[in-house]
Structure 1
């Protein structure tokens, strides 16, 4: 590219590696590179780190990880390989799947030994599909809780979770916390746990805008950012990627916009794209979805696909998957001015006993307790014959008091403001509710009647809800005979419209096993790397289990840093040999 004279050139501050994007993948790459002795420039387009990872559960999927083995959970790398082979078929031509499996535990062990990154076994956390090699426990790891106060004033740099997933306006809660809070009066352990985290939150709010007890994806991001600061890596905030700089086929720098000033950053080893995938880029989204349906996205709102677009201009190609998106079911929350925000229905309500999902005809169409991704796949499949977009969650007042419904918290007894805003529909009768959502009353009545019969027997003859370990794991273990099946009989009755939304893209830039971006001929574009959702998923559109986006983002960030280090070593060896021969 030709650089305009108005562009400032930072020649004196050439770095070994330029990383674009401060999510899990980008920060891991920058951290490992710095720990290997490389100089790193880390650019983030916004004022905060974390991207979509900050609002996620922060889980990573690592078959055969050492943390689980240390507490006696039985899993192996080979079983993980068998599982993925059964789902995905033969290995990809560049060996990325084998590279991931072979490096994953090594990468996490390196981070834990050299930084503040800490993971704990999730215990029982089943894989999402029933294939040979599937595991019930031992593969999922979650980030250890982190005290945000350790960051001091830099705590403001951690992107907060989704506002509707925080309690009392700013308190984070993991799965164990939610269980304790809902059952706080059932036993002393729950009561004391709830009292402890509430007291901590109350103390936090005297000095902070939100709670500093960080869990889930927020804890992971905070640990990464804290570790980067310890390693001396400075994040250049408000620095957006404009274009990549190439010289004789090699990427040698990045043109960025830093707070309104265009800068040309130079690199010795390469540029790493970790900008979050296609995000909200309309052109890319429409090119990857063929049924002409639009849908919202849970991706970070500032993610516009800049990394992928810049890479394409540099000759990169997309590795397109038949299923290009990873899905989550969401409800739309109306806001003033006509805007809206999204609430993801992962396990808090959808998988509990006493709720069903119906299509536009009032009939059930799926196992409500399937994984979020596979539930939305069922929505799309049904939408071809009977409109299931939106579909509707149907439940009663007892369900809402017990488990909540979307943004309506458990224990809520007054629902007028939710109905007036358009978030829910309610009615004293199921027939009246059916008319309000535009479905055939008799169909809805029959669907509820069958559900109530299944709740008594514990057997869902239509879709097998509660028949898998994943189902029962996310259900209510105290509800019998089936933790996922319950009566819908206590008026008033509720309906909540549910839509498909993508959480990330599976399609991304084609790369090799070291994260080097490839061109249309399958050749490496020297000096250009990609990880996270900028890199095409090694899962090829499938969703085998929890953490299959963040895990690869971190592992390939680790591999990229090691590859860059090897390139530097080879360059130095070559230079030393040349100087040796020239001196003779």
Structure 2
């Protein structure tokens, strides 16, 4: 695929102030910010549904000194965050980037919460992924997205990426961390029983008019909240539109060549092009770069994430990060082969893997990891143990 082309501005069919490629949280955050500042924005998504990986994620954010943390009395010093990140990142630690993240994270979140439907709450107890490292904490940094009514999206609700069936109850009902605890306790707690009955009742009503429940949680709620604002602000959303190449004039990116419904459009951007596309976790490149390649590569990343953003960036010699501790964010995934021949993937994140009584063993029946480790560390231990299936 050609990823760079030169095209005179006079040949452009459309012109926007900003073109955003990718409809995940990063893409919608950029689109919302630009549209709130009065700019004309085009948001491009190559699949038939918007939301990307973010729509099936936990939807949480991890930031220093947010308004939510301050309100709860968690006023952690910035130096504690720096120390923690130095320990985790190691040789790839970039002081300039880290300082920007620490100093402006609260500002960025506050802007989006003020200008859009976005709303986060502090997670009462959420240890850092490496809580035993210097600077680690038990709470104060992780925020979880508030649930959202998908009906606010109107006709666009049908285009929101649906989570995998394994993440839904009764064929289409979303639940969050609190809901799961209530469902586990409904037989012995009247309060939990009532909570569950209300959720089921709402879901039953939803199914009269919708293909799934409209009470959205986790990543679906995150995307729906941002999308509601973006669409209300006049952002144009193109689905099933593939960015083929960047339009370059005199060394500067001026727009994007986009294939949509069998037609190629040359779209210019007065202000710039934002590459917020999915990574490459679902492509051959990721499979080949794993520490262990003797087993099949199963990723929760959507199939469309095959590295388009990296290829476009490389076409204009964009800088690529290096000296990182890891180029991947690992999670253990189970695979269900259905009777119709389809395959469903399910990530073991926090609802089962790290619970008391769970013991992870390899094929020989030997325990090989601390089950309460973060899912990233868990998979690193799997690789160190031959994919956790070595005898």
TM-score if structure 2 supplies the norm length?
0.92
1:19–1:30 contact (8 Å) kept in structure 2: yes
Q: Which position in structure 1 is the counterpart of 2:59?
A: 58
Deviates further, 244-253 or 294-303: 294-303
In the alignment, structure 1 residue 260 sits paired with structure 2 residue 243: no
- Equivalent in 220, 228, 252 of residue 218 of structure 1: 220
In the alignment, structure 1 residue 80 sits paired with structure 2 residue 81: yes
Superposition deviation, residue 227 in structure 1: 0.8
Q: Which position in structure 1 is the counterpart of 2:388?
A: 388
Q: Which position in structure 1 is the counterpart of 2:306?
A: 304
2:86–2:93 contact (8 Å) kept in structure 1: no
Q: Which position in structure 1 is the counterpart of 2:357?
A: 354
1:245–1:255 contact (8 Å) kept in structure 2: yes
Superposition deviation, residue 20 in structure 1: 0.4
Q: Structure 2: 5+ residue runs without aligned partners?
A: none
- Partner Cα distance (2:136, 2:95) in 1: 24
Q: Which position in structure 2 is the counterpart of 1:373?
A: 376
- Partner Cα distance (1:77, 1:140) in 2: 15
In the alignment, structure 1 residue 340 sits paired with structure 2 residue 343: yes
Distance 1:90 1:334, change over 3 A: closer
Superposition deviation, residue 239 in structure 1: 1.1
Larger Rg: 1
Superposition deviation, residue 318 in structure 1: 2.9
In the alignment, structure 1 residue 33 sits paired with structure 2 residue 34: yes
- Secondary structure in 2 aligned to 1:327? coil
1:75–1:137 contact (8 Å) kept in structure 2: no
Q: Which position in structure 1 is the counterpart of 2:169?
A: 167
Cα deviation 1:501-526 (Å, max 9, x = unaligned) = xxxxxxxxxxxxxxxxxxxxxxxxxx
In the alignment, structure 1 residue 192 sits paired with structure 2 residue 191: no
Distance 1:169 1:339, change over 3 A: closer
Superposition deviation, residue 244 in structure 1: 0.9
In the alignment, structure 1 residue 45 sits paired with structure 2 residue 46: yes
- Partner Cα distance (1:94, 1:134) in 2: 18
Cα deviation 1:87-136 (Å, max 9, x = unaligned) = 22467457222111111110010011111111111111110111111111
- Secondary structure in 1 aligned to 2:121? strand
1:331–1:345 contact (8 Å) kept in structure 2: yes
Superposition deviation, residue 182 in structure 1: 1.2
**Equivalent residues in 2 for 1:230-241, closer than 5 Å:** 230-241=232-243
- Partner Cα distance (2:11, 2:162) in 1: 34
In the alignment, structure 1 residue 329 sits paired with structure 2 residue 350: no
Distance 1:15 1:353, change over 3 A: same
Q: Which position in structure 1 is the counterpart of 2:16?
A: 15
- Partner Cα distance (2:212, 2:59) in 1: 19
Q: Which position in structure 2 is the counterpart of 1:206?
A: 208
Alpha carbon RMSD of aligned pairs, Å?
2.2
Cα deviation 1:146-201 (Å, max 9, x = unaligned) = 01112222111211112111011111110110100110122221111111111111
Cα deviation 1:28-54 (Å, max 9, x = unaligned) = 001101112222111111222110111
- Secondary structure in 2 aligned to 1:328? coil
Superposition deviation, residue 143 in structure 1: 1.0
Q: Which position in structure 2 is the counterpart of 1:251?
A: 253
2:299–2:333 contact (8 Å) kept in structure 1: no
1:201–1:211 contact (8 Å) kept in structure 2: yes
Q: Structure 1: 5+ residue runs without aligned partners?
A: 391-438, 440-584
**Equivalent residues in 2 for 1:85-234, closer than 5 Å:** 85-89=86-90, 92-93=93-94, 95-129=96-130, 130-234=132-236
Distance 1:94 1:250, change over 3 A: farther
- Partner Cα distance (1:318, 1:247) in 2: 22
Distance 1:189 1:74, change over 3 A: farther
- Partner Cα distance (1:326, 1:216) in 2: 18
- Partner Cα distance (1:279, 1:325) in 2: 8
Superposition deviation, residue 389 in structure 1: 3.8
Superposition deviation, residue 230 in structure 1: 1.9
- Equivalent in 268, 271, 278 of residue 269 of structure 1: 271
- Partner Cα distance (1:313, 1:53) in 2: 26
- Partner Cα distance (1:301, 1:90) in 2: 32
TM-score if structure 1 supplies the norm length?
0.63
- Secondary structure in 2 aligned to 1:84? helix
1:64–1:80 contact (8 Å) kept in structure 2: no
- Partner Cα distance (2:136, 2:22) in 1: 33
- Partner Cα distance (1:337, 1:147) in 2: 32
Superposition deviation, residue 286 in structure 1: 4.9
- Partner Cα distance (2:340, 2:163) in 1: 23
